[in-house]
Each structure stands twice: as C-alpha cells, then as structure tokens.
Amino acid sequence: MKHPKTVWVTGASSGLGLHTAQQLGKAGWTVIAGARSFRELETRDGIIRLPLDVTDEESVRAFCDRALEISPWVTAVVQCAGVLVLGSCEETSMEEYRRVMETNFLGMVRMNRQVLPVMRAQGEGRIVLFSSINGLMGIPFQNAYTASKHAIEGYAEGLQMETRPFGIQVTLIEPGDHRSGSDRYRGHAAGMGPDSPYAAAYGSATARIHHDETHGSDPDVLGRKVARLLEKRRMPFRKRIASPDQHLAVYLHKFLPARWNEAILRSYYVRREKKSGGKIGAGRGRER
C-alpha cells in the first residue's frame, strides 16, 4: 500500500524552516508546519500551519495529535526550530543558555519522543535534524548556539543506532551561512554592552557574522536539497550544505592542530581589538 508523502516541519515561520517547508510543498509533499507564531490551524500557500512551541511539552503533544488527525501517516519530520543568542561565554546568562538549549536541542528531543512510537508502529520513518557548521566547530561569541548544535550531533548518532532496527532513518543537515533568519529568533546577550572587556572583539566578530549571513547561500536551494534527500531510498547520515570555503574550514578544523585552528578562526572573526573596534549591535540569524 502506497502512503501519502506527509512531512512535519518545525520552526517553519521564518528562515531555513520556512524555505524548507515551501520547497517541500512545491515538491508534492503534504506539509504540516509548526511554529510559535502560528496561532490557529490554517492552510496558506498549500502548507498546513499549526501552533507549536517546542519548549512546551503540551504544545508539542497537541501539535502531534492534531497533525495525526490530518494525516495518520508520518513519512518524515524535519526539525528546524531554533534561536540564537550572541554573547561572550562570561556574559551570556544561564537563562539565555537555557533558552537556546530548550529550543534548539531539547525541542528536538520533545518532538522525537512523540513521533518515534508512531514511526515504530509504521515500521518506517525519516527524521531530519537541523544542526549547523557550528555543530562541527566553534566560533567566538556564538557559544550557546554552538553548544546546542554540538549536542544535536552527538544525540543524532545515538538516535540512529537505536532506531535503525525499526526502519527509521536519521539525517543531520549541517547548513553553512544562508540568507535567512528573523530578528525575533536572534539577539544579543543582555550582559553585553559597550563597557564589556570583550566589546571590541565582540563588535568585530558580530559584524563578520552578520556580513557572512547577508551574503550567504540561497535558502531555497537548501530547501530543494532537503526535498531531494527525502526522496532517496537511503538517506545519508550527514549532509553538509555550505559554500566551498565553509567546507574547507570544516576539513581544516578536523585535520589541523587546535592552536592553528584557533589562530585562523580568531584572525577571521576578530580583525582588531582597539576600543574603537566593532560596534555592538550587529546580529545574525541561522536557520528558522
């Protein structure tokens, strides 16, 4: 029996989640999209939209129950929900760390805990987790985000080993910089300010981060690649979608000594450290 191609997409109101949902819809999938900004069930541009806050257990459960009423077969779940807080390790608050981890990492865990019993009963299913280049390497002043993406990388390895016997495939998407994101889901640590001992380096780094994203890759291309990946009989465990220089940075990080990597990345992000250096205020949105 041939089942309909139904995919759930989290974090689908903006950024890479939105572009991925749109491209999946164009590829013929029934797309059930969730985001905090969606207030009620509605269909827009061929995408079924449901409220979803991945940090709230009841919201996740309600989304899954309603999605299963719409289509009892779940071919795939694509998890894109995420937030970004820019700040130094020292001046990013514990609450800010918690907010990033609750959304980017634990939000995926909550969704998987709901969908895995369904996919096991089906005898198949596909789970796509959006990590990042920052899941493979760190950069200055993006530490909470980087930590959450490293957590996703390790979690996904165990998830695949546990679920493969049930016919469930897991894939990590590792995007580089893309022209996407919303200021609602990115921000600066409240503790950062002009008197911070990190102010000059922070201003330089955030300006570079902002530049790289605004000049990044086309998010629709990424969405189409995810759609094609879901059509494969056997998905790869990792799929890095990035520019050539970002692929090179990952390879260098893997093979060069740690001090060399530190020197290369610091020189790229921290151009100067004079008091008149960068201006605190530039920002960047990753996926979502």
Active site residues: 145
Beta pairing, strands 76-79 & 6-10: parallel
The angle that helices 244-255 and 258-269 make with each other, rounded to 10 degrees, is 150
Q: Report the distance separating Cα 106 and Cα 97, nearest Å.
A: 12
Query: Would you say how long the chain is, in residues?
Result: 288
258, 264, 265, 266 alpha-carbon torsion, rounded to 10°: 100
Residue of 29, 53, 76 lying closest to 185 (CA atoms) = 53
Q: Report the distance separating Cα 105 and Cα 99, nearest Å.
A: 10
Angstrom CA distances, 127 to 92, 165, 225, 283, stand at 31, 14, 15, 30
Q: How would DSSP label each residue in 98-144?
A: HHHHHHHTHHHHHHHHHHHHHHHHHT-EEEEEE--GGGTS--TTBHH
Residue 116's identity, in one-letter code, is L
CA end-to-end distance (rounded Å), the chain:
35
287 torsion bin: left (phi>0), alpha (psi -120 to 50), beta (else): beta
Q: Report the distance separating Cα 33 and Cα 148, nearest Å.
A: 22
